[in-house]
Amino acid sequence: MNNFIMKGDICYSETSDTLRLCEDAYLICENGRSMGVFTQIPENYQHFEVLDYTGHMIVPGLSDLHVHAPQYAYRGLGMDMELLEWLETYAFPEESGYKEPAYADKAYSMFVQDLKYSPTTRFCAFATIHTSATLKLMALLENSGLKGYVGKVNMDRNSPDYYCEESAEASLEATREWLMQSEQFHNVRPIITPRFTPSCTDALMMGLGAIASENHLAVQSHLSENLGEIDWVKELCPDSKNYMDTYISAGLAAPGRKSIMAHCVYSDEREIQMMKDNDTYAIHCPQCNMNIASGIAPVRKWLDIGVHMGLGSDVAGGATLSIFRTMMEARQVSKLVWRLLDQNLKSLTLEEIFWMGTKAGGSFFGKVGSFEPGYELDALVLDESRMPHPQALTLRQRLERYICLSENGDLLHKYVSGNKIF
Amino acid sequence: MNNFIMKGDICYSETSDTLRLCEDAYLICENGRSMGVFTQIPENYQHFEVLDYTGHMIVPGLSDLHVHAPQYAYRGLGMDMELLEWLETYAFPEESGYKEPAYADKAYSMFVQDLKYSPTTRFCAFATIHTSATLKLMALLENSGLKGYVGKVNMDRNSPDYYCEESAEASLEATREWLMQSEQFHNVRPIITPRFTPSCTDALMMGLGAIASENHLAVQSHLSENLGEIDWVKELCPDSKNYMDTYISAGLAAPGRKSIMAHCVYSDEREIQMMKDNDTYAIHCPQCNMNIASGIAPVRKWLDIGVHMGLGSDVAGGATLSIFRTMMEARQVSKLVWRLLDQNLKSLTLEEIFWMGTKAGGSFFGKVGSFEPGYELDALVLDESRMPHPQALTLRQRLERYICLSENGDLLHKYVSGNKIF
C-alpha cells in the first residue's frame, strides 16, 4: 500500500504564475495519490509512516514529452547540421540499427538506466519502426517503474531504403500487431507515432488516424520545427491549410483525444489556435532547437493563446535528459526571443518554466505534476549538497538555483505514483 | 621535478580549424612543459615515469577569462533582469558583503574549492573593491595550485553609497597598496580592473591606465554588453569614438600590453578592429548573455577580423564554472545568430569552440592551452565512465560528446604546469 507521509521543503505549481512553497511541511500519500500538503499531520493520517527528508526540497516528478529513445546513443554528436540533413546523416542510420535485437537491448538498456535516475517520472518516447525493438523498450521501461507512452514509429515514404516500411498497409499491419502485444504492459502504454508528415503517405496518415480513433489512443509527432521541413510539407500537401492541418485532416488530432506536437518553432497564431481546438499539446524543446539551428519557439504566444504545453528533452537533437536543464534553457531562449525578435514577447518566469516541466506537461498523463489533492504522487527529493551557499536562502531561491545548477546526480529519491524508484 | 609522461588518447588544438587527435599516445612533460606528443616514447625520455591513462582522453586545461569570484555565491539566482538593474539589485549588494573578512573567507573558499575541481586551470577573475578580501581570494587561489589573474575592482562613481570608493585618488591609493601586497603571490598575479566605464571617473580611468603602464600590468573590464549600458557610456563620454575608445584613451588598452574585454555583444567591426590593434582579447560569455538578456555576440566576425579571443563563464551572470559547457553554449548561440540574425555568420565548429576554450584563451597566459612543444603542461584527464556508448566512437566523436555531456564530476585528474592538482 502506498500510504506514507513525506516531510521536507515542498514546492509545486498551482498555476503558471503561482508556486506553492511550503517549508518543513508534510505531503500525504494515500494509495499512491497526494492528499495534500500540510504544516502538521492531520489527525486521520497520524498512523502513516513519515519519511523524514527534513531540509531537502521535494518537488513533483518531471515530464519529458518528447524524447527519441533510439537516438540516446548518439546524444552530443553530429551537432553540425540542420534537421533534414541531420535525419539522413545521423538519425536514420542509427535508428535502423535497432532491427538487431541484441543492439536494441544493449542501447535501450543504457537509455532506460539513465532515464530511471534522471528527474523524469513521465515520458512520451519515440522508438523506431521495428515492432520487436519497440516492445523491448516498453518492457525495459515497464520494469523501471517510470510511467509513460512509447510509440512504434511509422514511415512509408521519403525515407532511405534501409529504414522505411514497405507500404502504408504493411506499416498499419505492424502497428496493429504492436498494439496487440503492448497489452501486456501497464505503466507503459502505446501512442500512435507517425514520424512527421514528410515520412508518411496520406494513406498511412489516414490509417493511423483511424487506429487512434478506434482504440482511443493518443498521438505524437513533429510540427513546424524547421523552415526547410515546412516548405517540404507545403509541397507534399498543397491542399492543406498549414502543417497542423495535415494531422487534423487525417484524424490524428481531434477534440477530446490528446495529441502531442513537438517543436512548433514556426507555428503562427492560427496554427496554435488549431492545436488548442484539437486538444493538442505544443512541446517546447529549446536545446534541440538550438543544436540543429531550427530557431526559438515563441512560447509566450502559446501561453497567451492557452494551448496545452510541456517540455521535451528531444534527445538526441537535445543532448541531455534533464528537464530541469530544459527549464533553464526555456527561460534563456525566451530572453533571446524578447531581445532579438519581439519585445512584446515577455521572457518566461521561474514560475512558468517550473509549471511547464511539472503540472502543464504532467496533465498529459492525467492528474500528474502537482501535489494538490488527488494528484498521483510523483515526487523527487532533491540533493543540494553539491551547492552550498554562504547565506540562508529562501525556498524560492533554492528552487531557482537548483534548476540552474543541478546535474544528473543531484537526486536523493524518486517516487512514481507513490512507488519508490530509488 | 615535473618530469613525466602521460599515456592516453590525446586531443589538442593546433589552429582554430585543426584538432590533433592522437590515440594511445605519449605526452612528454619536462620541467612542467610539454615536449610534444609521440606515438612511442622517444629515446631520451625513456627514464621518465609513465602515468598510464590508457583509454582516457587527455586535453589541455581550460581557460576562464571572465569570472566574478564574489558573485559565485548567487549563481543561478536573480535571472529576471537586464544588466544595469541586475547589478543594482543583486551584484552590488552581494559584493559589498566582502568587506567582512569572515564572509569573504567563507564565500571565497567555496568558490576556490569548486574552481579547483572544475576543468579550469587558468583564470582571470574579478574580486571586489576591498583590498583585504581580494588578497584573501588571491591566497586561496595561490594555494589551490591553479594559475591566473585576480583584480581588485575599481569603482568611484554611479555606484550605491554602500559599495563605492570615496574618490579616484582613494581608489588609486588602495590599488597601489594592493599591488604591493600582491607581490607575495607567484601563481596568482594582479590585473588592473576598472569595473566598467560607467563606474569609473575619467580621473580614475587615467590613473589606472598609468599604473598599468608603469607596472606592465594587464587590464580587464567589460565592453558593449548591453544596449542600455552602451547608451549610458555615450552619455557619460560624449567625446569618445565608441565604448572601446574610453579604455584606449585612458591608456587601459594599448599595443604590446594585453587587456581583456568581456562580452562585446554589440561591438561592430570598427570596435573589434580597435581591440585587435590594441592587443585586447574579446571574451565570449554566451550563458550570461542569455541569462541577463543581453543578446548574442557575433563571434564569427571576431574570427574573421582575427582579434584575440577566449571564453568566460562570467559567473554569476553565468551560473556554471564549466568552460566545456561554455563551449557548447558558444556553439548553440552561434547557430541562433546564423538562423535569426545573419546567414553570413556561419555557426562555430567543434574545432573552433575547443580552440577558444584552450589555445586561444590560454595564450593570454603565455604558452598555455596546447600540447605543442614548449607549452606549459596544463592537462585534464577526462572521465567518460558516466557516458557509455553502445558502439565504438572515434576520438573526435568522444571529444564532441564529452563537451556536450560532461558535468563537474567527470574529471579524473588535473595538472597545471606539470603540477598535479588532483
Q: Contact A106/B335, CB-based, under 8 Å?
A: no
State the DSSP string of A37-61.
EESS--GGGTTSPEEEEEEEEEEEP
The helix (run of H) or strand (run of E) holding residue A153 is strand A153-154
Closest CA–CA distance from residue B351 to any residue of chain A (Å): 11
How far is it, in rounded angstroms, from Cα B172 to Cα A26? 56
Q: How far apart are CA B110 and CA B144, in angstroms?
A: 12
**Grid cell in block for residue A106:** 544493449
Contacts A103 to B, Cβ<8 Å? 390
What does the block give as the cell for B303? Answer: 574570427
What's the rounded Cα separation, in Å, for the pair A110 and A71?
Answer: 11
Does A388 lie at the interface with B, CB-CB under 8 angstroms?
yes
Residues of A in contact with B405 (CB under 8 A): 75-76, 319-320
CB distance B110–A388 less than 8 Å? Answer: yes
pLDDT for the residue numbered B80:
87
Q: How far is CA A306 from CA A65, A220, A269, A351, in A?
A: 18, 19, 11, 16
Closest Cα of chain B to A141: distance in Å?
18
Find, in chain B, the residue whose alpha carbon is nearest to that of A76.
B401
Look at domain B62-365 and name its CATH class: alpha beta
**B334, B335, B405, best to mutate vs chain A, most A CBs in 10 Å:** B335
Where are the CATH 2.30.40.10 domain residues in chain A?
Answer: 4-60+370-420
Question: Cβ separation of A290 and B110 shorter than 8 Å?
Answer: no
Nearest neighbour of A400 by CB, restricted to B77, B107, B292: B77
pLDDT in tens, B142-197: 999 999 999 999 999 999 999 999 999 999 999 999 999 999 999 999 999 999 99
CB pairs under 8 A between A and B: 125
* Contact call for A400 and B294, based on CB within 8 A: no
Say if the Cβ atoms of A79 and B103 lie within 8 Å: no
Which 85-114 residues of chain B touch chain A by CB within 8 A? 103, 106-107, 110
Asked whether the beta carbons of residue A77 and residue B336 sit closer than 8 angstroms, the reply is: no
- Structure confidence at residue A296 (pLDDT): 98
What does the buried/exposed string (b/e) look like for A267-299 if buried means 16 or more CB atoms within 10 Å of the residue's CB? beeebbebbbebbbbbbbbbbbbbbbbbbbbbb
Contact assignment for B407 to A405 by CB distance below 8 Å:
no
> d(Cα B330, Cα B352) in Å, to the nearest integer?
10
Hey, of A98, A385, A404, A411, which one would you mutate to test binding to chain B, going by the most B CBs within 10 A of its CB? A404
Q: Which of B107, B290, B389 sits opposite A332 (nearest CB)?
A: B290
Cβ contacts of residue B314 below 8 Å, gap of 6+? B66, B67, B68, B262, B263, B285, B287, B288
Q: How far is B205 from chain A (nearest CA, A)?
A: 31
For the full predicted model, state whether its pTM sits above 0.90.
yes
On whether any CB of chain B is under 8 Å from the CB of A76, the answer is yes
Residues of chain A with pLDDT under 50: none
Q: Retrieve residue A186's grid coordinates.
A: 501497464
Q: What is the pLDDT of residues A129-180, one digit of tens each?
A: 999 999 999 999 999 999 999 999 999 999 999 999 999 999 999 999 999 9
Bridge-based pairing state of the strands B4-15 and B18-30:
antiparallel
Express each pLDDT in B280-315 by its tens digit: 999 999 999 999 999 999 999 999 999 999 999 999
Nearest-by-Cβ selection for B390 from A106, A350, A401:
A106
Residues of A in contact with B350 (CB under 8 A): 79-80
Mutate to test the interface with B, among A82, A290, A313 (most CBs of B within 10 A): A290
Q: Is B319 on the interface with A (CB under 8 A)?
A: yes
Please identify among residues 169-228 of chain B the ones whose CB lies closer than 8 Å to any CB of chain A. none
Can you spell out the DSSP letters for B233-302?
Answer: HHHH-TTSSSHHHHHHTTTSSBTTB-EEEEE-TT--HHHHHHHHHTTEEEEE-HHHHHHTT-----HHHH
What CA–CA distance (Å, rounded) separates B41 from B22? 14
For residue B380, the one-letter residue type is L
Superfamily of A4-60+370-420 according to CATH: Urease, subunit C, domain 1 (2.30.40.10)
The reported pLDDT for the residue numbered B79 is 87
Domain with CATH 3.20.20.140 in chain B: 62-365
Residue B17, number of CB atoms within 10 A of its CB: 11
Chain A residues close to B403, C-beta within 8 Å: 76
Q: Mean of the per-residue pLDDT values for chain B?
A: 97
Q: CA of A1 to nearest chain B CA: how many angstroms apart?
A: 35
Task: Name the amino acid, one letter, at A357.
Answer: G
Q: Distance of CA A239 to CAs A137, A386, B409, Å?
A: 37, 56, 54
**Cross-chain Cβ contact A73/B293 below 8 Å:** no
pLDDT in tens, chain B (422 residues): 799 999 999 999 999 999 999 999 999 999 999 999 999 999 999 999 999 999 999 999 999 999 999 999 999 998 888 999 999 999 999 999 999 999 999 999 999 999 999 999 999 999 999 999 999 999 999 999 999 999 999 999 999 999 999 999 999 999 999 999 999 999 999 999 999 999 999 999 999 999 999 999 999 999 999 999 999 999 999 999 999 999 999 999 999 999 999 999 999 999 999 999 999 999 999 999 999 999 999 999 999 999 999 999 999 999 999 999 999 999 999 999 999 999 999 999 999 999 999 999 999 999 999 999 999 999 999 999 999 999 999 999 999 999 999 998 899 999 999 999 99
- Min CA distance, B100 vs chain A (Å)? 13
Judged by CB atoms closer than 8 Å, whether chains meet at B73 and A106 is answered as no
**Cα end-to-end span (Å), chain B:** 17
With contacts defined as CB-CB under 8 Å, which chain B residues touch A404? Answer: 75-77, 79, 319-320
* Alpha-carbon dihedral sign for residues B313, B349, A69, A354: positive
Instruction: State the best of B72, B77, B94, B100 to mutate against chain A, taking most chain A CBs within 10 Å.
Output: B77
Q: Does B404 contact A295 at a Cβ distance shorter than 8 Å?
A: no
Tell me if B76 sits within 8 A of A400, measured CB to CB. yes
- For A347, the closest of B293, B320, B390 (CB atoms) is B293
Residue of A nearest to B102 (CA): A390
